[in-house]
Amino acid sequence: MEPLTEKYRPKALDEVVGQPENIETIKKLLEKRESQQIPSLLLYGGAGLGKSATAEAIANEINAELSKFNASSEGKKETAKEKIVPALRNAWRPKVVVIEEADGLSGHAQMSLKEDISQNQSTKAILILITNHIDKIVDPIKSRCMPFEYEPIETKQIKQHLEHIAKKEDLDSDLNGEIQKIAKRADGDIRKAINQLDRETLIDDDKTKETAKQIFGE
């Protein structure tokens, strides 16, 4: 069974929940991509706020190839030079190059990207850096990117999204009382909330529900 987080992952920018100002600005940037180079984007904020989903939705919106790198496992200077830089330079069709957990790039690796960020040789590529820890991104990189801060999502918006999923999935109406609790416990993290909803749908009998409540709380 496909996890709900994947099944309801945003395919378009308008489907990203709780970040309206960021999404509106990004959409305006994309509208100008035929006439001017889009700057590198730096998406930062806590986990589960829609940063990666935004990057993937951008690729979908412009029908672009998506190249993803995880800096936690590929954070060395050599990786930046041998993988990320070529991905940026060799883009002859629309391409979105995403560096997840960009704070995992070493200082040397970040600096090796500096010139390619400011003077991207391919007008077809968009570089997106994603981080939960903006303080670990070196200043020369931050100054060369357009920053977008992702704020915790309001409980009301999370609740509405969970209700939308529950309706689509034809979930048991008994879950209605749990959705408000799930949304509140998520602390602005919509991925956490959807995972919790997914878990609730797998709890069938009263005994298992009681055990789950003891473990996870009300």
The kind and range of the H/E element at 146 are strand 145-150
Top pLDDT among 75 and 129 is at 129
Distance CA 48, CA 101 (A): 13
Distance CA 115, CA 131 (A): 20
At residue 196, the pLDDT reads 92
Domains of the chain plus CATH, in order, are 4-150 (3.40.50.300), 155-216 (no CATH)
pLDDT, tens only, 149-199: 999 999 999 999 999 999 888 876 556 678 989 999 999 999 999 999 988
Q: Please give the DSSP secondary-structure letter assigned to residue 47.
A: T
> In a 3-state reduction of DSSP, which class is residue 62?
coil
- CB-neighbour burial class of residue 96 (10 A; exposed 0-12, middle 13-18, buried 19+): buried
Q: Tokens 């968009």 belong to which residue? A: 126
State the first-to-last Cα distance of the chain, in angstroms, to the nearest integer.
26
pTM (two decimals): 0.85
